[in-house]
Structure 1
Amino acid sequence: MKTRSQSTRRQGGFTLVEMSVTMAAAGLLFAAVTTGQELVDQAKATKLINDIKTVEMRVQQFAQLKGRMPGDCDADGIIDYAADANGASFSARSDIANNARANEYSYSVLLPTIPGEGADAAAEESACTLAATAAAPTTVTTNTTNANVWLNDLKVAGIVSDSSPNRTLAKMVNEDFLFVGSITDNGGATAAAADYNAIVIHNVPQWMARRLSTAINGQDARADRSRIRLLNRDGSTDGSYSIGWSDNGASGTASANSDMRDSMVTVAYFFDRVPESKLGGQ
């Protein structure tokens, strides 16, 4: 009886071989899950990069056809819409939600229209007027608060389908929106109030922003240089930039505490002219 009891207890445990097989299977499963997540992340980052480059291509295509940028109603070289400093709207970078930014874009399938002579492109379906008033024949009314103008211009030109809602066209894979317009640079090197055309993408996960920087800038060591830059999110309404991607746009200096890779940042892509870098290598 004593021998049988000891045998029963021995049979109730795992052998070293069984434990090794179990651990190996768990390791393979973990590796498969990790690899799968990395593939998903890579696909998302690649889609964001491709979508932004597609927007840039459409903007440049319009410029070649019309001799001005879409949304640049007075053809002065600067897109009228204030891409993220629009005080009359909710596209400011300090807004961490996206419902208000979504409301900047029309979700109705409205046929794009050209306003009457000298009229403001204020309605959701309005493109640039392209006509001066009789009283001011050299002046075309611009609109800094209507985010739809650049897309409506593309629709009138036949570059994008007018059956697609603007909100759908402007939504990115990171579940937030991009805005095409101008940024007033305050990077410390350029002239005061210098404006630059840019694509602003809101609430981009930090890891995705770094991959975007690597793809376009060729590096992700600095976030305040070249074409892709990290915009401050501390209430700024101009082009002031954070040095490191881990700053989460909280200030213009490197943060003592790095944020997590999924922290949300606001990115500016200067697809036209590029602001100078900060003075003194800062």
Structure 2
Amino acid sequence: MTGAYGFVGNAVVRRLSEAGHDVIAMTHRPVGAVLPSAPVASTVHADLLQPEQLRDAVRDADAVCHLAALTRVRESFERPDDYEAVNRGGTAALLNACEAEFARTGRPFRIVQASTAAVYGVPERQPIDEQAPPVPTSPYGKTKLAADELLIARADGTALGAVILRAFNISGAVAGVGDADLTRIIPKAVAVAAGQATHVDVNGDGSAVRDFVHVDDLARAYVLALQACAPGSHRIYNVGATGASISDIVAATERGTGRPVPAIHHPPKQEPPTLLADTTLIRRELDWKPERSSLNEIIADAWRAAAAGGS
């Protein structure tokens, strides 16, 4: 698994291990660095930008969950070349390594790829299903779509099987590990409640609705996707659960923590009023459904992690 020691990776590793998989965690952190505790069989140190390291990393593996990426939308406008190199170029290098491993062993290879709702842009039709034409509006979304297209092209009609999971907004916490990225609204609201930040910024009246999914529910989707991954084909699934506005999140955080979450309102921005996931396909084909993705539970888990210093 690439990105195994990240916020999402932590949750996915635990679910894969519980399902009986031996997880080899790939990290680009240097040898000797202190790594978080996780139920992994072993750890390999490799970088997506170093092809020879990737070949060693996938040796003797029969599947890859590819989570490593640069993921900040706003940052991607400032660093488009870095996002292109890591998200598209790194995925291409990883696929080359997987194909080389297949050539060495003759075993079919499965890949489950972390994608994002950002590939869709702002479709008029809501909720968004997997047939929506992808029109990404940021370098992040464009590079993740390019990575998806690379995987699809490599999988169809070959010994490679692929499942692409397009997650919407991921939050919550697993085993005390929450999301440390305060550019995202739930981690920021929780950080404000914990006294680690002064306020949340709200555009307009805070009524824009977005789709949120608990990181543990997303992790279960990875297990199901890996089980369903079939050589020579690809599938794409949206993963989302609960629609909530910024105002909903601020109010729920105040209720759940018993602490104030001051908000500073800024002039409205041109943004879609609603972006929601249609998850009919993953429910029908993988029998997946959210179990922990109520807004109250997402915030409660994120709060416990933040209060314990785990975000």
Q: When the two structures are superposed, what TM-score results if normalisation uses the length of structure 2?
A: 0.22
Greater helix proportion: 2
Greater strand proportion: 2
Q: Which structure has the higher relative contact order (CA within 8 Å, separation 6+)?
A: 2
**Which of the two has higher C-alpha Rg?**
1
